[in-house]
Structure 1
Amino acid sequence: MTQSPALPLPPPKERRRLREKGSLTQDQVAARVGVTRKTVRAWEAGRTAPRGRKREEYAKLLAEFAQLEGGMTAGQTEPDETEVTVRLAKQTPPPAEPSQPTSTTPALTPAQAFDALYAFCAPALVRQAYLLTGRRELARESVERAFQLAWQRWPEVARDRDPASWVRATAYEYALCPWHRFRLRYRHPEAPPAEATDRVLMDVLLRLPPPYRRTLLLYDGVGLGLAETAAETEASTRAAAKRLLHAREAVAARLPELAEPSGLHRRLTELASTERLRAAKPTTVRVSGERRARFWTRAAIAFTVAIIGATTLTLRTAPTRYEPPVPSGETVRGVPPKAAPGPLSNVELTLRSKLRSETQNGPERLVPESR
């Protein structure tokens, strides 16, 4: 059986124009194709190209936009939003109409679906994050933060084609964030594994650059294909293949017995399984995520109120007209300095004594004597 030829992709600029012509945002296109908004933005900018099944979905969506545009250029009137939505909805199966009650399993609530996803993915993700960072506490924190973000954006995550991949990518990005090195609790290294071979393998992994380490773990540890690994790391297939080869060479240089991919996969699984890494309960993660969201919401509201209050106070106290500044004083030259009184002469002393001895009050007057 021969496969049908793949649909061609238009140039990057044409992709964006067709999306805007279809009245869809990047978030809506990402939800339909099953990727993130960052990936759709990279496709429209030409930095990366879709691969595999996601490329087919993306090409079909763009072809639908092109057909809509072709119908308008053939003399039809421009379709409204309702018609565009109806045409694009043909790609997804319609929702099942309500029928009579049957014995099928009832639908899960959002909390139950989240708890099921957490119970299925969290233990393995904690071990994978430990291989990425070499820190047990950071591994648990990365997985909890990823699931907290997933709970905050649960409608989007629940509609994703692979919610586990969404959470895994978020946990990996948080675990490999370079800002962790500035935190006080992560400045000191943790205790290495007990076995000598495990310590050597962990040291080799931590010496790899983060993109190489992530590619090696996804391909040889998790078991993803090369196309899926490239898509999750947001790199081209050629770049992902080069990273994988360089990472394998670095591991084989220190541990020649792990030159075979099967042996490397087995050792990564054993290294992650030897550590006792436990994830928190899903209820705890959901409650802590809601508390964190409420805290940051209140902090943002308080900050906004403070800015508004400071602006109002400034407007109240600021002058309404221009007041020129008072000039600094200038030194006046040519004025003789004020002389201080000197000592009295003998004549002045005699006169002062005489004046003090005479009567100063009453009807009598002091008459100067003639000489």
Structure 2
Amino acid sequence: MTRSTTDEAAVPPLPSPKERRRLREAKSLSEEEVAAAVGVTRATVRSWETGRTSPRGRKRALYAELIAPEPAVKPTVLKPPVVIAEATAAGAGPAAAAAAGPAAAAGPAAATGAGPAVAAPAVTDLPEAPPLPEAAPADPAPAPAPPAEAPGERRVSPAEAFDELYARTAPGLVRQTYLLTGRRALARESVERAFELAWQRWPEVAVDRDPAGWVRAAAYEYAMSPWHRLRRTHRHPDAPPTEPGKRALFDALLDLPPAYRRTLLLYDGVGLDLPETAAETEASTPAAAGRLMTARAAVAERLPELANAGSPAEQSALLHDRLGGLARAEHVPVPRPARAVRTGSESQARLWTRAAVAGVALLIAVTGLTLHTAPTHYEPPISPPERVGGVPPRGGPQKLTAQDLKLQKSLSEQLAHGPERLVPQLK
């Protein structure tokens, strides 16, 4: 093993690309400052945070040390089944986050100390509680050691962990996606496709810091795909709510551009803080803040009570309640059972695998046929025809004249009347 490989193995594993960006913004570091400290360009740092590339060697060690969280808020490393259980419990709401312990309570907003005045993120449904006023961050207590596994305790299987995550997050995620698209069938389809993709990549999703956020981002990306406009069933949104207030909010959401609508839903509806919203929408934090302000102003033109609200915290609380009420009032379709989603994901994976194998086999057969029928030596091409002159006329018997025909006829008639020795006899 070389020295560079040994140094790279000694560096702790880097967090996910979205977490790298959150940690950098939590320390108030810009991309230029990180690039200057590590010795790379700004574009390289941006590619690290989007997941296109990953640092190596000495730059990896410097980058990991630069964005490493503070020891007081460093998350405890748990085994994958326990991580999934705690992440699922944290996505259930503030009460479950408090029951998960100090390590679960010290989320992204507590680490940055600059989160918005909104409630804790709720991944199962749009939260019902209004946003809490912003308070000064307290010194978090050190994370407790993970409890030791009892000898007789049963370990959670991947299917059970997936089913638990699906049961907690799928119904609320369908309502969120409905507010994002205005189409009930598309909302259900998007959530089911996101969970099918999550089951195919479950080893990656299981160790993610926020599995519910991973599924939510996949569902939003599928739901906002412009290719759905070509489908007849999803070409037009469903009928709006009949209540005037809910209909005005519904129309205001659908009139927003997709990126602004998603930012507003994540921040004021789901309850993410601004850095998390910016990371999930793949935008900078100032750009996400600008989209949020523009979207709020556009919605306030349709909702007079939102325009009359005083502080931004009151506007966020009012919009939070209105979005939650709209999501709960609409009758969205219930997603399929988790077992059916897992079975569909496995069937789809088998179908793509068989298609890939068939494609490779067809390519091999065509290649073999080409090699078998291809010429083994060079064959010069046939020269194009040319007109040849100076050749003598064709010889041979000429056309008989009338006199020649008369003589031929007389000879053929006199042959039978000649001498006896010349007459043929049949025996």
- Give the TM-score normalised by structure 1: 0.70
Kindly state the Cα deviation for residue 97 of structure 1 after the two structures are TM-superposed.
9.2
- Amino acid aligned to 1:327: S
Residue 47 (str. 1) matches residue 46 (str. 2): yes
The equivalent of 1:267 in structure 2 is: 322
Instruction: Rate the CA distance shift 1:265–1:363 in 2: closer, same or farther, 3 A.
Output: farther
Separation of aligned partners in 2, 1:91 and 1:216: 29
> Is 1:124 aligned to residue 168 of structure 2?
no
Q: Distance in 2 between matches of 1:227 and 1:144?
A: 27
Q: Secondary structure at the match of 2:203?
A: helix
Deviations 1:47-100 (A, max 9, x none): 3897xxxxxxxxxxx99924999xxxxxxxxxxxxxxxxxxxx98558769676
Is residue 215–residue 244 contact of structure 1 (8 Å, CA) maintained in 2? yes
More deviation, 242-251/137-146 = 242-251
Say if 1:19 and 1:65, in contact at 8 Å, map to a contact too: no
Question: Whole-Å Cα distance in 2 between the matches of residues 330 and 161 of structure 1?
Answer: 80
- Flag the 1:19–1:187 CA change in 2: closer, same or farther, 3 A: farther
Change (3 A) 1:262 1:319: same
Q: CA 1:31 to 1:363, structure 2 compared with 1: closer, same or farther past 3 Å?
A: farther
1:230 and 1:236 in contact (8 A); partners too: yes
Residues 1:314 and 1:336: Cα distance change in structure 2 (over 3 Å): same
- After superposition, residues 13-32 of structure 1 pair within 5 angstroms as 22-23=8-9, 28-31=13-16
Please, which of 61, 68, 93 is the counterpart of residue 65 of structure 1?
Answer: 61
Q: 1:220 aligns with which of 268, 272, 289?
A: 268
**Contact between 2:260 and 2:291, CA under 8 Å: does it hold in 1?**
yes
SS of the residue corresponding to residue 299 of structure 1 reads helix
In structure 2, the residue corresponding to 1:107 is in which secondary structure?
coil
Post-superposition Cα deviations, 1:200-259, rounded to whole Å, max 9, x if no partner, equal: 433332232221111011011111111111122121110100111111222223333333
Counterpart code for 1:47:
R
- Deviation at residue 342 of structure 1 after TM alignment: 10
Rounded to whole Å, the distance in 2 between the matches of 1:334 and 1:63 is: 85
Note the C-alpha offset of 1:161: 1.8
The answer to whether residue 285 in structure 2 is matched with residue 237 in structure 1 is yes
How far apart, CA to CA, are the structure 2 residues paired with 1:352 and 1:24? Answer: 116
For residues 209-358 of structure 1, the aligned pairs below 5 Å read 209-259=257-307, 260-277=315-332, 278-333=334-389, 345-358=401-414
Inter-CA distance 206–349: structure 2 relative to 1 (3 Å threshold)? same
Distance in 2 between residues matched to 1:19 and 1:175, nearest whole Å: 42
Shift in alpha-carbon separation, 1:21–1:236, aligned structure 2, 3 A: farther
TM-score by length of 2: 0.62
Preserved CA contact (<8 Å) 1:130 1:136: yes
Shift of 1:346: 4.2
Alignment-derived partner of residue 77 in structure 1: none
| Alignment check: 8 A CA contact 2:181 2:237 kept | no
Matched position secondary structure for 1:30: coil
> What percent of counterpart residues are identical?
52
Alignment-mate amino acid for residue 161 of structure 1: R
CA deviations on 1:178-217 (whole Å, 9 max, x unpaired) are: 2222234333543333344444433332232221111011
What are the Cα deviations for residues 29-64 of structure 1, in whole angstroms up to 9, with x where unaligned?
23598569xx99x987233897xxxxxxxxxxx999
Aligned residues: 312
Q: Secondary structure at 1:246's aligned position in 2? A: helix
Aligned residues of 2:196 and 2:341 also touching (Cα < 8 A) = yes
Unaligned runs of 5+ in 2: 25-30, 32-40, 50-57, 66-73, 80-145, 308-314
Distance (whole Å) between structure 2 residues aligned to residue 127 and residue 91 of structure 1: 31
Per the alignment, do residues 93 and 218 of structure 1 end up closer, same or farther by CA in structure 2, a change over 3 Å counting?
Answer: closer
For residue 286 of structure 1, what is the amino acid of its counterpart?
R
Q: Deviations over 1:317-350 (max 9, x none)?
A: 21111212223322334568879x9986542343
Corresponding residue of 1:160: 208
